[in-house]
Chain A
Amino acid sequence: AQSVTQLGSHVSVSEGALVLLRCNYSSSVPPYLFWYVQYPNQGLQLLLKYTSAATLVKGINGFEAEFKKSETSFHLTKPSAHMSDAAEYFCAVSRSGGYNKLIFGAGTRLAVHP
């Protein structure tokens, strides 16, 4: 069975600092991995996804994530945080075989302070 663990339900950074949101997955087959962002009172928006092409994936708003099979990780990073990055971030893995049912982590709420 597949699962996703996001370490840290809350992360706080200063504006301009590095953002690092951690995601570890469990999958018996090569996974498809996703990061979504949820702004207050809005639906989820795709930041980026890994579909077995390049291991370093670049997404929107300056975010990127690196797939590391040996560590079963897919951490999300951004070199310099902006106030507008404050939101909740979800890591998800696609169910193996068949269709694209997503299994989500519990989410990490990112706070950015001046």
Chain B
Amino acid sequence: GAGVSQSPSNKVTEKGKDVELRCDPISGHTALYWYRQRLGQGLEFLIYFQGNSAPDKSGLPSDRFSAERTGESVSTLTIQRTQQEDSAVYLCASSFGRGRQGDTQYFGPGTRLTVL
């Protein structure tokens, strides 16, 4: 079956612009995660969805970042008024079930965001 897909694969934007990043999880996966990977660093957790609700938004760096999920499927990560420090690869992952410890997360290929 299809894996996790993300779009766009690359996004170049100017400082101050808003961007939207999209994630389509594996069909049937109720848990969805967003991570950020800065150059040369590991992944940082941003937000977790269970169904359409987000019980943990603790990783969102600032109020410029927001995310939503609809239909227990597609999720959108929005960054308003982008800054150069937002440049990173944004990765989405999904897992089956209620996101229990030990569940395997399946990652998408990521969106590389460059803020000029």
Proximity string of chain A (1-14) to chain B, C-beta cutoff 8 Å, 1 when within and 0 when not: 00010100100000
Q: For the complex, give the distance between the alpha carbons of A9 and B42 in Å.
A: 11
CB of B109 within 8 A of CB of A43, answer yes
If A46-B104, A102-B105 touch, does A107 touch B31 (CB 8 Å cutoff)? no
Q: Name B42's contact: one of A90, A96, A98, A101 (CB within 8 Å).
A: A90
A-facing residues in B54-108 (Cβ within 8 Å): 55-56, 91, 93, 95, 98-108
B116 within 8 Å of A by Cβ? no
Q: Quick one: which of A9, A43, A46, A103 has the most chain B CB within 10 A?
A: A43
Return chain A residues, CB-CB under 8 Å to B33.
101-102
Proximity string of chain A (27-40) to chain B, C-beta cutoff 8 Å, 1 when within and 0 when not: 00000100010000
Return chain B residues, CB-CB under 8 Å to A43.
3-4, 91, 107-110
If A41-B109, A44-B107, A107-B41 touch, does A99 touch B102 (CB 8 Å cutoff)? no
Return chain B residues, CB-CB under 8 Å to A107.
41-42
**Which residues of A pack against B, CB within 8 Å?**
4, 6, 9, 32, 36, 41-46, 49, 51, 90, 92, 94-107
**Which residues of B pack against A, CB within 8 Å?**
3-4, 31, 33, 35, 40-45, 48, 50, 55-56, 91, 93, 95, 98-110
| 27 pairs, CB–CB < 8 Å, chain A vs chain B | A4-B42, A6-B42, A9-B40, A36-B107, A41-B109, A43-B3, A43-B4, A43-B91, A43-B108, A44-B43, A45-B107, A49-B104, A51-B101, A99-B99, A99-B100, A100-B101, A100-B102, A100-B103, A101-B48, A101-B56, A102-B43, A102-B45, A103-B45, A104-B43, A104-B44, A106-B40, A107-B42
